[in-house]
Amino acid sequence: MKKTVAIMAGAALILLFATVMLVFLPYVQLDSEPVPEGLEPYTAQELRGRQSYIANGCLYCHSQQPRDPGFSDADRMRGWGRASVPGDYAYDEPQLMGTMRTGPDLFNIGARQPSVAWQLLHLYDPRAVVPDSIMPPYRFLFEVVDEPLPEHTVVNVPPEFRQGHGVVVATQQALDLVAYLLALDHTYPADVLPEAEEAQE
């Protein structure tokens, strides 16, 4: 029994050590990072859109973390923006940094594609605007009506991409999601992490 306890206690201690290094210390350090002045909290609508972004798993193909030009210059050249800093994520709960770039980085998509009409059409059928895109269509975020009401946001879908007979209108969910995408604009200036130079080795 003594041996059993020793093994389990040793295992627990090592994990505790790793937790201090990888969870506690970064938390202390990142928590004290300044929030950039240009960063605004999300509105209620943007937060609803953010939930849609999570629910439909956008994060599995899109990152939200442009890399430092010293590490990989391509992000800057593609216009994806400056390298992100911890403070940029101050209002992100949970963070949606992502690990895949099957699609482009979205950290500054609101600055790159500020048109609501483009975003809605792209969500309805990505291939209507990007011919070879492999992004799934999100037609379930839209409705087809015979006669749009004044409060409807009509999406002008080219006939060859339209499904069903009638006029395509955006649901509130689609509008919220687009509001969130347009809020992804981190073009304000921010200080880089002091260790960033070190990280470029």
Partner 1 sequence: MTPTITFLLILTFIVSVGGLLVLVWSIATDQFRHGKRAARTIFAPGEVGQEEDPAHEDSPVEATGAPAEAEFEARRIADTSSRTPVLAWLASAVAWLAIGSIYGLIASLKMHLPEFLADDAVLTFGRVRPMHLNAVAYGWASMAGVGIAIWLVPRLFKTPLVGGRFATAGAITWNIGMVLGLAAIGAGFSDGEEWLEFPWQLDLFFVIGGALAAAPLLLTVRNRTVEHLYVTSWYLMAALVWFPVLFLIANIPNIFPGASGATVNWWFAHNVLGLWVTPIGVGIAYYLIPKILGKPIISYQLSLLGFWALALFYSQVGIHHLIGGPVPGWLVTLSIVHSVMMAVPVITVAINHHGTMMGSFGKLKTSPTLRFVWIGSLMYTVASLQGSIEALRSVNVITHFTHYTVGHAHLGLYGFLSFILFGAIYFAMPRLMAWEWPSRRLISLHFWLASGGILVYVVALSVGGWLQGLALIDGSVPFMDSVRLTIPYLEARSIGGAMMTAGHIVFAAHFLMVLLRRGQRRERPTLFRSVASEVAS
Contact set for partner 1, span 144-183 (CB under 8 A): none
The nearer residue to partner 1, 146 or 198, going by C-beta atoms, is 198
The nearer residue to partner 1, 141 or 179, going by C-beta atoms, is 141
Segment near partner 1 (CB under 8 A), from 111-119, 136-144, 145-153, 176-184?
A: 136-144
Nearest approach in angstroms of CB 81 to partner 1 is 12
- Between CA 16 and CA 23 the distance in angstroms is 10
Decide if 126 contacts 135 (C-beta within 8 A). yes
Contact status: 89 vs partner 1 (CB under 8 A): yes
The nearer residue to partner 1, 86 or 110, going by C-beta atoms, is 86
Contact status: 135 vs partner 1 (CB under 8 A): yes
Binding mask 66-85 for partner 1 (x = CB under 8 A): -xx--xxxxxxxx----xxx
Contact status: 25 vs partner 1 (CB under 8 A): yes
Contact status: 199 vs partner 1 (CB under 8 A): yes
Decide if 122 contacts 130 (C-beta within 8 A). yes
Decide if 66 contacts 108 (C-beta within 8 A). yes
Choose which of 37, 134, 158, 187 interacts with partner 1 (CB under 8 A): 134
Contact status: 104 vs partner 1 (CB under 8 A): yes
The nearer residue to partner 1, 12 or 150, going by C-beta atoms, is 12
Q: Environment class of residue 164 by beta-carbon count within 10 Å: exposed (0-12), middle (13-18) or buried (19+)?
A: exposed
Q: Environment class of residue 151 by beta-carbon count within 10 Å: exposed (0-12), middle (13-18) or buried (19+)?
A: exposed
Choose which of 41, 55, 154, 191 interacts with partner 1 (CB under 8 A): 55
Per-residue DSSP letter, 141: G
Segment near partner 1 (CB under 8 A), from 17-25, 115-123, 150-158, 176-184?
A: 17-25
Q: Is 176 helix (H, G, I), strand (E, B) or coil?
A: helix
Choose which of 41, 115, 140, 166 interacts with partner 1 (CB under 8 A): 140
Contact status: 118 vs partner 1 (CB under 8 A): no
- Between CA 44 and CA 8 the distance in angstroms is 47
Closest CA to 182 of 59, 65, 37, 43: 43
| Integer angstrom CA distances of residue 98 from 9, 14, 22, 94, 102 | 35, 28, 19, 11, 11
